[in-house]
Structure 1
């Protein structure tokens, strides 16, 4: 059973950061017609399709057709400036990757008596805030796999979650990291924690990355420049990387977790300091092993 650590849990000291936007490194398909797009979805064997050349009007037509067909695909992200649409196909394996982590966190909320103070937002569509990187005033939108935030602080119609979980099987970790940066910037830094979960069947591993934001150190004013801001810009920071490896040589099959428990900070989740008896939420090594076992049950040969 998971425990709730005290408020004094330290931050990870050996954090790394991400700078400029990375390439997606995902196979792409040129968009032709809405009918062709849905036929490609029907033929897909993985959990991700990427279409290029999708204009804002094309995107709105695709969105309308999704509703008409009642398809449960997710628009992971639409980038209007690059005219790229990322579509998540919710396979059983894909859903197991993010749902089981979110439910483990949700179970701790229930046990700690805080379920009524949390709003599960799931895969709601969020539109980038205009005037911020990742927004640009277009129709840039994203739909996370699992999301949530404190209630009532983030329970409004236009409120962004504090926690986002994104998973991928056939997509790349670089692509997930690009999504992570979009969530931070498009929300104008209202999103506080992004968990990325990548399944690698050939390596028999699940990688979990926990990203937060921190102030970038000032680089110093340019000669002749005038300082206009005292606060440094926020940047994504990798706080934890956890790898769960399956060992099929043991009987029963075992799962080995490196880098310890997954810690979700109370302050970032609930936007306030913890009170008496409250603290960070911790998914223990045992819980992560159980999580991996449930995920691998969805791997079909």
Structure 2
């Protein structure tokens, strides 16, 4: 998949909590954000990926909520990948502040924003077939351009979609 606009791969760099002296930061498994908006060394990503094999899904969800709050709501999408021997569960969580014409966003409204589960995809590994096959439920994974790049898409730009085939290739790489 080609990212259609300037993008900075932040990787697994640690980010410190904003506005809270001495508060711990977060370190995701992978992350990124738009350039130049999130190009600074201490800039927060707009996308974070958290993967877990030994962690429970509940623990991954706690980490997801921490990403949104610790970043002071600068992180916009958190992808969770819960892995086990035959299944990969992907959850796409978003936190978007509703925008009303003329309204202002306050610290209080940001602190009380709840993340929303926008998409769940299950990928199963079938080891009874030769070669091993992978099955994806619920279609492509779609990431909002506006949340990733902090602007509306321009001509020939749009949401990023990872097809079923791309998700199957991802699964094959994970279990390789």
Three-state SS of the structure 1 residue aligned to 2:136 is strand
1:153 corresponds to which of 19, 28, 37: 37
**Relative contact order: is structure 1 or structure 2 higher (C-alpha 8 Å, sep ≥ 6)?**
1
**Does 2:129 match 1:250?**
yes
Where do residues 30-41 of structure 1 align in structure 2 (5 Å cutoff)? none
How far did 1:157 drift?
A: 2.4
**Does 2:76 match 1:192?**
yes
* Kept in 2: contact 1:198–1:207 (CA 8 A): yes
Q: Count the aligned residue pairs.
A: 168
TM-score of the pair, normalised by structure 1 = 0.53
Alpha-carbon distance in structure 1 between the residues aligned to 2:64 and 2:55: 14
> 1:211 maps to which residue?
93
Three-state SS of the structure 2 residue aligned to 1:108 is coil
Three-state SS of the structure 2 residue aligned to 1:295 is helix
> 1:80 maps to which residue?
none
Three-state SS of the structure 2 residue aligned to 1:167 is strand
Instruction: Decide which moves more: 175-184 or 249-258.
Output: 249-258
How far did 1:156 drift?
A: 1.2
Unpaired runs of at least 5, structure 1: 1-106, 131-135, 217-227
> 1:30 maps to which residue?
none
Q: Which runs of 4+ in 1 moved over 6 A?
A: none
**Does 2:11 match 1:125?**
no
> 2:168 maps to which residue?
289
Larger Rg: 1
> 2:101 maps to which residue?
none
* Larger helix proportion of the pair: 1
1:141 corresponds to which of 22, 25, 35: 25
> 1:237 maps to which residue?
116
Where do residues 1-301 of structure 1 align in structure 2 (5 Å cutoff)? 107-109=1-3, 112=4, 114=5, 117-130=6-19, 136-201=20-85, 204-215=86-97, 233-297=112-176
Unpaired runs of at least 5, structure 2: 99-105
Q: Aligned-residue CA RMSD in angstroms?
A: 1.9
Alpha-carbon distance in structure 2 between the residues aligned to 1:234 and 1:154: 22
